[in-house]
Amino acid sequence: MSTGSVRRTSIRLADGRELIYFDDREPYLSGTAIRTEADIRELPPMETRSEIRLDVLTGEYVAIAAHRMNRTYLPPANENPLAPTVPGRPPTEIPASDYDVVVFENRFPTFSGGQGRCEVVCFTSDPDASFATLDPGRARTIIEAWADRTAELSTLPGTRQVVPFENRGEEIGVTLSHPHGQIYAYPFLPARTQALVRQARAHRSATGNSLLADVLATEREQSVRMVLSGEHWSAYVPMAARWPLEVHLAPHRDVADLAELTDSERGELAHVYLDLLRRIDRFFPGVDRTPYIAAWHQAPVGEYRELGRLHLQLFSLMRAPGRMKFLAGSESGMGAWINDTTPEQIAHRLRDVAEN
């Protein structure tokens, strides 16, 4: 299937997992060539033993996934499981000798047994790249992949929320250095979403308005924490930022998820997101690649959908070059956050490091 500037091709890996190519280059884009590579590995069936338990003390859900304890951890370059499959090296998760963007079911998923789904998103075949070093065309392809998977995963029975995210940097526990992200189709509402729903419901009852839309409008009006603004998107540091580096990116229009974005909104997002990521990499003097977590918060599927609104939360655990913010007693033990800087200072720095 071809959608605009991207061609989508789905295959099955040796153990039955789905893999989807999102091609933005010839000869695959036009269909001149067709993806015919087969997974030649002899893979044993996946053995996943995850279950979801409710913490009755907090009302939060916890996924118990013991099989993930032995997942691949920082393999050498010649054993990179996200690299293309090339002669002279062991076959990888991706049978093709080159690719643009690939999505496949995680072999070590957090959820299993028909409860949710976990997918890996490979941003590029280049193991030395990062999202920030990609061009806008490739960023747009990734956005198309996120939108495609959001739409499809939202139709799976039991899905309550779909969240694409990226973890970057060994400092925050990344187990594969190849540029990639993940997409979770949660079979429950995560704790942060539960809290947002409570706040949004109270705000709508009191004002009749959308909480997230009003937050964006207030930040744009006050401007002190604004980082950038385009025709369709704005980025700002939240007033109660928890992390030493945190920024939110939101569309100006009320949009539930990435699948609802228009062509023009997706096009601008490719440029704005790259701009934001490159500012993140320039935030700390002497740090080439800032470790970060980027999560797309999308509206719940089904109940409470009208209370959600698409937005990105991008943050780093780094508080200074070579120093990380560890969640100790107050944050981890009590959930009471302490930030050692101010949101206004964060925003000022992100504005200062914009490309001229």
* Distance between CA atoms of residues 134 and 123, nearest Å: 9
Average pLDDT of 138-151?
Answer: 98
pLDDT at 131 over 90: yes
pLDDT at 76 over 90: no
Mean pLDDT in the chain?
95
**What's residue 78's pLDDT?**
87
Where would I find the H helices in 118-251? 136-153, 191-207, 211-222
Tokens of 254: 């009320």
Catalytic residue among 180, 203, 232, 297: 180
Give CA angle at 231 (228, 236), nearest 5°. 25
Tokens of 316: 């780093």
Please answer whether residues 238 and 276 qualify as being in contact, where contact means their C-beta atoms are separated by less than 8 angstroms: no
* Distance between CA atoms of residues 175 and 191, nearest Å: 24
Average pLDDT of 197-209?
Answer: 98
pLDDT band, residue 194 (cuts 50/70/90):
very high
Residues with Cβ < 8 Å from 170, sequence gap 6 or more?
A: 74, 177, 291
* Distance between CA atoms of residues 187 and 159, nearest Å: 5
Question: Which neighbouring-strand residues pair with 243?
Answer: none
Q: Where are the domains of the chain?
A: 45-186, 191-352
Domain 45-186 adopts which CATH fold?
A: HIT family, subunit A (3.30.428)
**What's residue 232's pLDDT?**
98
pLDDT band, residue 48 (cuts 50/70/90):
confident
What residue type is assigned to position 138 of the chain? R
Sign of CA dihedral 244, 331, 215, 131: positive
Q: Which helix (H) or strand (E) holds 8?
A: strand 6-12
Average pLDDT of 75-85?
Answer: 92
**What's residue 1's pLDDT?**
53
**What's residue 2's pLDDT?**
46
Please answer whether residues 299 and 264 qualify as being in contact, where contact means their C-beta atoms are separated by less than 8 angstroms: no
What residue type is assigned to position 106 of the chain? N
Please answer whether residues 121 and 142 qualify as being in contact, where contact means their C-beta atoms are separated by less than 8 angstroms: yes
pLDDT at 229 over 80: yes
Average pLDDT of 13-17?
Answer: 94
Classify 191-352 by CATH class. alpha beta
pLDDT at 61 over 90: yes
**What's residue 347's pLDDT?**
98
Does residue 203 carry a catalytic annotation?
no
DSSP-derived pairing of the beta strands 292-297 and 245-251: unpaired
Pseudo-torsion of CA 299, 301, 307, 310, nearest 10°? 10
Average pLDDT of 56-84?
Answer: 87
Q: How do residues 260-297 score in pLDDT, each as one tens digit?
A: 999 999 999 999 999 999 999 999 999 999 999 999 99
Please answer whether residues 289 and 130 qualify as being in contact, where contact means their C-beta atoms are separated by less than 8 angstroms: yes
Please answer whether residues 73 and 79 qualify as being in contact, where contact means their C-beta atoms are separated by less than 8 angstroms: no
Q: How do residues 307-318 score in pLDDT, each as one tens digit?
A: 999 999 999 999
Quickly tell me which residue has 């996934």 as its tokens: 65
**What's residue 3's pLDDT?**
55
Q: How many CB atoms lie within 10 A of CB 18?
A: 13
Average pLDDT of 72-87?
Answer: 88
Determine what percent of the chain is predicted with pLDDT higher than 90.
88
pLDDT at 71 over 90: no
Average pLDDT of 198-223?
Answer: 98
Long-range contacts of 337-343 (CB under 8 A, 24+ apart): 337/242, 339/241, 339/242, 339/243, 339/244, 340/244, 341/244, 343/225, 343/237, 343/238, 343/239, 343/240, 343/241, 343/246
**What's residue 309's pLDDT?**
98
Please answer whether residues 340 and 319 qualify as being in contact, where contact means their C-beta atoms are separated by less than 8 angstroms: yes
